[in-house]
Structure 1
Amino acid sequence: MTTAAEEQEERERAERWNAYLWEPGGCLRNKLGITNPFELPAAEYRLRAMRQGELDRGEVDIPRTYDKAHLQAIHRHLLQDVYDWAGEFRTVDVSKQGNAFVPAELLDKWTGKVVAKVNDRDWSTMSREEFVQSIADVYAHQNLTHPFREGNGAAGKVFLSHVAEMSPYRLDFDRVEKSEWNAASEAAYPEDITKSTDPDPRKLYAVFDKVTVERGSVLRADPELAMALELQSETYAGIDASEQLDLDAERPAGHGVELEAEAEAEHQA
């Protein structure tokens, strides 16, 4: 039998969850006035792609502080056109495929863990193997933290790319399939979160080995496409293949503290 205190806590939890929605079990509240949860992801992706392009072209300066403010600034820029709470940590607990992410009240503590894993390393002198293992460790903890109500995948990848800027390497997320990325992310999740809260970054080494590229090198898997891009670059000044976008978005959760699902474009798990 539940106590009055437990019932009150449950009511408050439901109120916090529903505050993100137009109506209980409905679509996430958004600046676009979209109330259909199946229409919102496409609109969010389109606007986020525009903001991502601004970051990729260096038109927006986000201070590389590699802390909570850094991550929030990325999220705020990417989703400023869609959500009033862009850049704010979530106030509700979320889970995916039965795996609970870090509780809302522990987000600051866990973000501190991520920050420490970035700052406690000398990225500039890393070998490729050291970089793969280190960036996988950062991502494993960042993914488990999942600090935002929506858009964790997109913000997280930009953050990782900023971390990689301190190293001799860059990240090309297009080099790994979505299904492989999701499987590795799920495998890295703690086997039993009641006994251990630490993820296993070793499960992510293979996918990060695939996406890690030496800075300045160019992947040309398709010779004909490479030739076409080269001709295009010679003909039209200012075209840069590095401006191609790799974006992801999460699909809005529909109810309660159920799963926070992803949009089709997302590699995040």
Structure 2
Amino acid sequence: MDQYSQYDLREDDPYLIEGSDCLQNLLGFTDTKSLNHAEEQLTQLTMAELVADPVPATFDLKHLQAIHFRIFEDVYPFAGQCRQTEILKGGKLFLPHNMIEQVSTEVFTELHSENLLQGLAPAEFGKRAGYYLGKINMIHPFREGNGRTQRVLVDQLASLNNFALEWAAISGEGMARACREARTTDPDGTALQRLLSLHTVLPSSR
């Protein structure tokens, strides 16, 4: 799961419970450890439900927001809402929140201009999917839950193209490093392209 405690904490973060480092939530928790545990249990169920009953796949910011809402609607009052604050990790800012809509439009327009990656061989699809994953991760439109939301969207993109992604075969450390490089030193997401290229398969071969 995403560990929002790994974000750099800011005293003026409007999403935290006042006087706490715990995110506002609908579950009544006031400490991060308990919230994380309960959230993990709940979102395992909601993500499984999304496999059986996916949101309409429009591949735009509203699509991403709909996924986020479905995953976190019982956990966070801001489920499905783009963040209204800046967030950092390792002292490095994600995209400023007032640019989320503009840059998302640019990224998803580019994806649609590539015909949603249809007609590509598995390895080439993985490369292009890795490129777009890096772009979406750089935007980081939500205060929490970006990683899971992004993966669901990329899974839908893979399914559209009759592929599947072997996320479980990618180490958390390797994914974190590749995402960090994509938003700091490698805007084309070369490492993400390689990871997804190596782990794009036909569903029957999983």
TM value normalised by structure 2:
0.88
Deviation beyond 6 Å, 4+ runs, structure 1: none
> Is there any run of 5+ residues in structure 1 with no aligned partner, and where?
1-12, 192-197, 219-269
TM value normalised by structure 1:
0.69
Matched, 1:190 2:193: no
Bigger proportion of residues as helix: 2
Task: Please name the residue that 2:188 is paired with.
Answer: 200
Q: How many residues align?
A: 196
AA in 1 matched with 2:144:
E
Change (3 A) 1:139 1:61: closer
Among 115, 124, 127, the alignment partner of 2:121 is: 127
AA in 2 matched with 1:210:
L
AA in 1 matched with 2:15:
Y
- Between the aligned partners of 1:24 and 1:199, the Cα distance in structure 2 is 37
Contact 1:190 1:200 in 2 (8 A): no
Among 168, 172, 177, the alignment partner of 1:174 is: 168
Deviations 1:101-147 (A, max 9, x none): 00000000121123123211132211223212210111010000000
Q: Rg bigger for which structure?
A: 1
Task: Please name the residue that 2:85 is paired with.
Answer: 92
Contact 1:133 1:201 in 2 (8 A): no
- Between the aligned partners of 1:53 and 1:129, the Cα distance in structure 2 is 26
Task: Please name the residue that 2:60 is paired with.
Answer: 67
Matched, 1:216 2:188: no
Deviations 1:62-114 (A, max 9, x none): 11111111111100000011011100000000011122100000000121123
Over aligned residues, Cα RMSD in angstroms? 1.8
Task: Please name the residue that 2:97 is paired with.
Answer: 104
- Between the aligned partners of 2:54 and 2:162, the Cα distance in structure 1 is 21
Contact 1:174 1:211 in 2 (8 A): no
